[in-house]
Amino acid sequence: MAGTGKLFVISAPSGAGKTTLVRKVLKRFNSLSYSVSHTTRSPRKNEQDSVDYFFITVKEFEQKILLDHWLEWAKVHENYYGTSRQFVKNCLEKGRNLLLDIDVQGAKKVMASELEPVTIFILPPSFEVLSQRLENRGTDSKEVIARRLGNAKAEMARKDLYKYVIVNDDLDKATKELCLIFKKEIEMA
């Protein structure tokens, strides 16, 4: 399935700053495309369909599971998330480097595939900082935040599955570290 493009997988617990870091990296690497995931959750404020996610119904998502449409998929925080197998295949065959921003469950599925992804895990500076970031977002109820924090502990315990781990305690420093990884890995391709 892999062509000449390189596949990158970035994971992090909710609130670790992954989305901000990914946006900064994408601006600096013209040879890097972003894989827009599908989800059944509702859009957050300022999120756009087909830009941030493809927002689809649970029924549509489950039909695509039966059709083996997904390279990886998972149910996280009561919502489905998935990556289109065909989209990834097309990008890599065209020689494009592709970035997947996915959770640990999905990353494990991609790691088990023949694609040999470059894997990166983003850690928050501490669990306390992560908790504060989620509360400061103001987008989730106390129950949802508690569930996200529970999931974060489990995800952070799996960081050793990844080739690279970056602690996002300083945005500029973390951006620099992440860009160095992409530069090194793209040049090695």
**For 58-74, what is each residue's pLDDT tens digit?**
999 999 999 999 999 98
Q: What is the rounded average pLDDT for all residues in the chain? A: 90
Q: Which CATH architecture has domain 7-188?
A: 3-Layer(aba) Sandwich (3.40)
CA dihedral 2, 24, 29, 95 (to 10 degrees): 20
pLDDT at 2: 44
CA distance 189 to 186: 5
Residue 125 burial class via C-beta count within 10 angstroms: exposed 0-12, middle 13-18, buried 19 and up: middle
pLDDT at 79: 92
**For 106-139, what is each residue's pLDDT tens digit?**
899 999 998 999 999 999 988 888 888 888 877 7
Tell me the three state secondary structure of residue 188. Answer: helix
CA distance 63 to 119: 29
Mean pLDDT, range 90-118, rounded to an integer: 92
Where are the domains positioned within the chain? 7-188
% of the chain exceeding 90 in pLDDT? 65
